[in-house]
Structure 1
Amino acid sequence: MKKLLQNFTALVLFCFCAVSFAQKDFQGKAYYMSKTTMDLDEWGGREMTPEQKKRIEERMKSFLEKEYILTFNKEESIYKEDEKLEAPGSGRGWGGFSGGFTGGPKYKNVKSKELLQDQEFFGKQFLIKDELKSLEWKMGTETKQIGQYTCFKATAIKTVDGFDWRSMRRRRDNDDKDKKEGEKKNDSIKKDDDPMSEIEVPKTIEVVAWYTPQVPINQGPDDYWGLPGLILEINADRTTILCTKIVMNPDEKEEIEKPKKGDEVTKAEYNEIITKKMQEMREMYGGRRGNRGGRGRRN
């Protein structure tokens, strides 16, 4: 009975609010704050002093904590970072290499199921064009208030992109205790030659979304969408995306333009490009280690 009442309430809210969103030139803006947590102890932080940890955390803050703006109408949206001027020396995460994992403006069209993303990787511009994929949302019965909006809970299981840095973690080998000493040494050498061998990404994660029928738009931050209302909060693995402000029908409307620059590729093709580049870097890294070792032996 409780679930039926909540579903009915959501339907009433959706129908009531949809009337005011019917005009042709309707537009809105939602401001989001995204934060990803990272345990430095997992990446060798146990050997650092508190001062060293603090310095690294400050340098990583601009990469792990970002602000975005979602500009949307009834069918389209563009999601892009709200870039701010940074202090000298603050850094942008992991330098140029991080560009392969953090995308540029993302365009979604929920009617044509079109997804476009502007992406730069090692100085080359790409235009990722793919089908907008939907998640199999399970509607929950819980509600909570986010600002002035009543939100309803929905959950889904999401397949994780192998290059999603937000879910990367250090690989854990549960069989270490059962290995022989010689096997441990060989494994250690392999990891030294290939630093990426210590990183893994889970195949799937659970996503918890909070959406509001008071803004009856089938949109949300990043690549999330597909609920009967604007998604105001996303909790996915170690990342939380939270809406901090909504502006309906701003005085100065912004044209939602599709990204156009760059070589057009699908997401699968782009991942293949990253894979090849990483392989080149691993080979180059291994070659340098070999050269250093060779010079050491000649001496």
Structure 2
Amino acid sequence: MKVLSFLPLLLFAFHFGVHSQDFQGEATYFSKTTVDMDLDGRQIPEDRKKQIMERIKQANERTNILTFDKSTSIYKEEERLEQPGSGRGGMRFGMMGGAGGDYYKDVKEGRYLVKNELLGKVFLVEDELPKLEWKLGGETKQIGNYMAYKATALKTIKRPNMRAAFRRGNDNTENKEEAFLEKEVEVVAWYTLDIPVNQGPGEYWGLPGLILEVSDDVTITLCTKIVLNPTERKEIKAPTGGKKVTQEEYDKISKEKMSEMRDNFRRGNGNRGGRRQ
């Protein structure tokens, strides 16, 4: 009875901490993206094909840290040592796989900023936060120490067409619009009411609690660690520097660059691992 009597006090203390003025949390997420790429028909040795696929796999497995308070957050990739021999190729594949930079959200103001590097040039994307029409379900599951609730939403995504990028052909046989694909997919999220903040990894937000897991048709992101009110607090501030553009402008630039890379690869540059000047 004595142990149980402390429970309401602990819950009160926790929720008081979340709603206090100086509340801050830190969540670590691991994400993995499946890349559909076709190297068949290319004049590439088998060992080289395996090397390319392994580099793509490494570039599309990431660990990010979300530092958040009641209304703002910053989502940063955890620094890691480059794999031997990865060179610039790993960064290139990461960009093609949809890699992003520091992602800042202000849910109170409804805006975000993200700093991206695209083929050596830095861009600062600033726009309104995307709003998903979440449908809250009754399904639950345990994620770590937290009870998580399921929510779903439909989302229109644009991503590079990797199969087209590495398929043999020439500019006359393939349409340049094929460099990017656009389609509607279902997003599945799991959030916890135990941490009642309107935050989540990357662009995701808008649920009654912290998003612990989210997946679309090719990427799954899972929270692996949470620290509430850490001893060492971090400053949550929007990224700066780079050319300022809207999301629409950045998407247009990305499409153009992706088409250029695809065309260069088809001319034979891709076989040399990007060393040709």
TM-score of the aligned structures, taking structure 2 as reference length? 0.79
Structure 1, unaligned runs of 5 or more: 1-13, 172-187, 290-299
- Post-superposition shift, 1:134? 1.1
**Distance of aligned partners of 1:96 and 1:281 in 2 relative to their CA distance in 1, 3 Å threshold:** closer
Query: Equivalents in 2 of 1:191, 1:141: separation in Å?
Result: 50
**Distance of aligned partners of 1:45 and 1:247 in 2 relative to their CA distance in 1, 3 Å threshold:** farther
Matching of residue 20 in structure 1 with residue 13 in structure 2: no
The correspondence for 1:215, drawn from 178, 185, 195, is: 195
Query: Equivalents in 2 of 1:273, 1:48: separation in Å?
Result: 29
Cα RMSD between the aligned structures? 3.2
CA-to-partner distance for each residue in 1:103-138, whole Å, 9 max, x for gaps?
Answer: 210000000001000112222221100001110001
Query: Equivalents in 2 of 1:157, 1:207: separation in Å?
Result: 6
CA-to-partner distance for each residue in 1:47-83, whole Å, 9 max, x for gaps?
Answer: 9998666533432232111100000000000001002
- Aligned pairs for 1:1-299 (under 5 A) are 18-39=15-36, 42-44=38-40, 54-91=50-87, 94-96=90-92, 98-99=94-95, 101-161=98-158, 164-165=159-160, 168=161, 170=163, 190=170, 194=174, 199=179, 201-278=181-258
Secondary structure of 1:103's aligned partner: coil
Query: Equivalents in 2 of 1:156, 1:205: separation in Å?
Result: 8
Q: Which structure has the larger Rg?
A: 1
Alignment identity in percent? 49
Greater mean alpha carbon deviation, residues 108-117 or residues 271-280:
271-280
Query: Equivalents in 2 of 1:103, 1:26: separation in Å?
Result: 27
- Post-superposition shift, 1:93? 5.4
8 Å contact from structure 2 (residues 192, 212) kept in 1: yes
Query: Equivalents in 2 of 1:247, 1:239: separation in Å?
Result: 24
Higher helix share: 1
Number of matched pairs:
254
8 Å contact from structure 1 (residues 27, 249) kept in 2: yes
**Distance of aligned partners of 1:16 and 1:139 in 2 relative to their CA distance in 1, 3 Å threshold:** farther
Query: Equivalents in 1 of 2:12, 2:184: separation in Å?
Result: 34
- Post-superposition shift, 1:268? 0.6
TM-score of the aligned structures, taking structure 1 as reference length? 0.74
**Distance of aligned partners of 1:56 and 1:102 in 2 relative to their CA distance in 1, 3 Å threshold:** same
